[in-house]
Amino acid sequence: MKLVHLMWIDSCSPTGGGWKSAEGRDAESEKPILCESIGWVVYEDNGAITIAGHISHGKSDGSVNEVNGELTIPKVAIVKRRKVKI
C-alpha cells in the first residue's frame, strides 16, 4: 500500500451559528480551511481518494488484513499530494 501526504481544502461554517447581519462579517472566518492528512491509500478513482490512518498486518504473509480511520477526499479539493517513504 502507498502512504501519502495530502493537503486539501475543506468546507467550513462560520463560528457563532445562528442569524447574523449581512454587514460587518468576519471575512477570515468565512474562508475554507486548509487541511493536511497522512494515510495509506485504500481506494482511488478519478474523483476521490480514500486513505486510512491505521492498518493491521493480521495475515501470516504480512499483507494488510484490516484498515481503520478511513477518510475520503474529493480530488478537486486536493491542492498538494506527495508520496511518503517509510
Phi, then psi, of 51 in degrees rounded to 5: -115, 155
Nearest Cα neighbor of 41 from 33, 49, 30 is 49
Q: Which residues pair with 74 in a beta bridge?
A: 48
Q: Residue 86: what pLDDT?
A: 85
Q: Residue 30: what pLDDT?
A: 73
- Give the model confidence (pLDDT) of 64-81 as tens digits: 889 999 999 999 999 999
Phi, then psi, of 25 in degrees rounded to 5: -80, 155
Helix, strand or coil, per DSSP, at residue 76: helix
- Give the model confidence (pLDDT) of 5-49 as tens digits: 999 999 877 666 677 777 766 666 678 899 999 999 999 999 999
Three cell numbers written together for 75: 480530488
Q: Residue 29: what pLDDT?
A: 67
Question: For residue 59, is pLDDT > 80?
Answer: no
